[in-house]
Every structure is written in C-alpha cells, then in structure tokens.
Homo-oligomer: A and B are copies of this chain.
Amino acid sequence: MALCADSSITNTFFQQENPGSLFEFEVIQREANTQARLGRFHTPHGAIETPVFMPVGTRGAVKGMTPDGLVCAGTTILLANTYHLALRPGSDAIAEFGGLHKFMAWERPILTDSGGFQVFSLATLNDVDDSGVTFKSHIDGATLRLDPGRAVAIQEQLGADIIMAFDECRALPATPSELEKAVDRTIRWAEASKRSQKRTDQALFGIVQGGLDLDLRRRCLDAIVEIGFPGYAVGGLSVGESPDEMAGFLSKFVRHMPEDKPRYLMGVGRPIDLIRAVTSGIDMFDCVMPTRNGRNSFAFTDNGFVRLRNSQYRLDSRPLEDGCPCYTCNHFSRGYLRHLFLADEMLGPILVSLHNIAYYHRWMQRIRDAIASDRLNQMLAECEKKFAQRREDHEAT
C-alpha cells in the first residue's frame, strides 16, 4: 500500500508481550544535560515510546483520519474525550460495541480525559460543589451531572488504556483563592476517582492543578502522589497564560514529579512548546493543533507554517516539506493542496491533517533521537533561534 510504503515515520510500537509489566514505565535513558528522558510505557494494547504525542479523537475519530492513516502517520496512542462521547453516542452505547477500541477500530492504546476540562469550558454550569458538577449539555441543553465516580464509571465503559481522574481546571488568570479552591477539589476528587476505580486493566492517572503558583502546585502534587497513581498529569496549563510563562513554570516544577512514572502535559501544544516541556521532563502530550490547523489549510514545516491559501503556492510543485516521508508529501504538491482548499474539497483537510500529524510524530522522534545522543539542548537552541527568527519575520511583514 502506497500509504505506508515509506515506514520511516512509523514510530516504534511494541505489541504487549509481557502482561506482568502492565503499566510499568521503564526509563530507558536520561539525557545528560536536561531533565528529559526516553521511556516506554506498557499498556494492554501495547507499549508506547516516550516522549510521545497523542492526536486528539474528540468524538471517537481523529478528524479526517482513518485508523490506518494514523498508523501510517506514526500514531502509537491517541486521546478521546469523555465529555463528548458521554453525551453522544453515550458510554453505554460504546460499551455495547465492546468499548472504544472496537467502536473506532483502533487497536493501539487510547487515553481518555475525565471530562472535567470540557465541563468547565464548553458546558453551561449550573452548579459546582465539593462533590461534583451539574451542567447543561452543549448539544441539547439536557441537565447532567459529572463527579469523580461518574467520570471513572464512564471511562471504564469506554475502556481506554489510560484514564484520568476528575479534576477542576481553572482558566488563567485566576485569583489565588480560586486556584486554591480548585486544588482542594482536585485533590478530593482524585481520592474519590481512585476509590471508584473497579477495572484493573486501566491506568488511572492523577492530575495536578494550581495555575502558575509553584507552591500551590507542589502542595497539590504532594497530595496527589500521596494518593498514588501509575502516572501524573499537569493540568490547567495552556489555558490563558503565555507560552513563555508555561515553559518557565514547567522548568521549575516538573523535576519534582515522580521520576519513575510517566508525566503528561495536557492540551499542549506547538512544536516548540513540546521540546521545551521535554527538556523539563515531560513524557506525554496531546493537542488539536495538527488537525485543527490542517483543516484550516495551515501545514507545519521546520520553516513555519505553509499557509496554503496564499497565492504564492498556486504553481508551487514542491511538497509541503522537502524530505517529509508522509503520504501527502510523497504524492502531492503545494499547488494541488492549495487548489483543494480553494475548491472546498475535503481531501485538502484530510491530506494536510495527515501531514501535520506525521510532522508532530517526526518531531517527537527527532526529540527522542536527540535525547538518545545527549543533544537535546542543541536541538532546543536551534529551534529557539529559528522560532525567534520567524517571529521577527512576522513582525517585519
């Protein structure tokens, strides 16, 4: 099949071989000059290499991508949204189909979020109290309730390999007392989430909240670690603060997270955000940027976005990025892709989403290669320089 003819972007992926090592996180190598590490996390659907990027399949589909297209782009694990799937088609329905893997025909690992973030950002909140949240569905206005027990029960019906504790995520900037309240609830809800867990074949990750306040974050982290989870996530970032503030915070915070467990930065981000966070010790990421930008005709390359609607690409016979081994770059010119967007052909969003996801996975592979050879700082420096250069270019135009 042409789509996978070049396997160089297919990330290493291990079918689970040793059930005894379920949810074990092996730190394979620590980079000499940063907090970065190479790891391997074992799940019921195979072991993933970290640092890893997870494309987002909000409603049980990564927009415009078939499962085989994702595999060819190098996806080893993807994320799906509990909130969206609980509203439609409902976790009961998905359980009837044998769980999310079977429903969406994805045989590799899946992570589901807890629904907390979407409840606070998408739904109309009726009431938030210490035990949970009552809200109106953004689809049909129905009144619903989500709490730690329900969030875990739904995720157990969905059946992902990694599930998330229910948390309260505050948009930034937030007042200290708002953040403190959210942290208290997040700790209480983490305990309740763990108590509710019945299935033993899913890894329940704890989430740390606390905004950019290092002391508050560490208090939250200590409490969450005390409860004890097979992995830990940093929530509540990329929610209003600047990327520099986020990177600065992570450089001080992530080193305090348990070394022997995977560390997941939720909802982040741009390629430069990923490499910055990896140098601080983050292992896992998810973000809608590759697919959302792909649908909007923006293609990621090492030289910044190719904005395909620009007239300069009308007769451009080059691929999106020279040397990119993805299906899109192997077959199509910028001029053709531009034509698809101007003609409103859905093949445009499909092909550029595919390239962008492959770009993200290649980016993570380059990060892993840099870790393996202790050159991550050098890669970061080059990346920062290019990025600053591009910003100057943009300011100049």
A: which residues have CB within 8 A of B? 1-4, 59-61, 63-68, 71-72, 84, 88-89, 93, 96-98, 103-105, 314-315, 317, 327, 331-333, 335-336, 338-340, 342-343, 345-347, 349-351
Contacts and interface: CB of A to CB of B under 8 A. Distances in A.
A333 B89 CA distance: 13
This chain: copies in complex: 2
A106 to B, nearest CB: 10
Contacts of A88: 339, 342-343
B347 A66 contact: yes
A317 B97 contact: yes
Given A103-B339, A105-B331, 19 more contacts: A1-B4, A1-B72, A2-B71, A59-B343, A59-B345, A60-B336, A61-B343, A61-B345, A64-B346, A66-B350, A66-B351, A89-B314, A89-B342, A93-B314, A96-B317, A103-B333, A104-B336, A105-B336, A346-B350
20 contacts: A2-B68, A2-B71, A59-B345, A60-B343, A60-B345, A61-B340, A61-B343, A63-B347, A64-B346, A66-B351, A89-B335, A89-B338, A89-B342, A93-B335, A97-B315, A97-B317, A98-B317, A103-B335, A105-B331, A346-B350
A63 B343 CA distance: 11
A327 B66 CA distance: 10
Nearest to A353: B346
A116 to B, nearest CB: 21
A86 to B, nearest CB: 13
B97 A335 contact: yes
B3 A68 contact: yes
Contacts of A60: 336, 339-340, 343, 345
B64 A336 contact: no
Contacts of A350: 64, 66, 346, 350
Nearest to A2: B68
A110 to B, nearest CB: 14
Q: With a 10 A CB-CB cut-off, give which of A65, A93, A343, A347 has the most chain B CB atoms.
A: A347
A224 to B, nearest CB: 33
Nearest to A96: B315
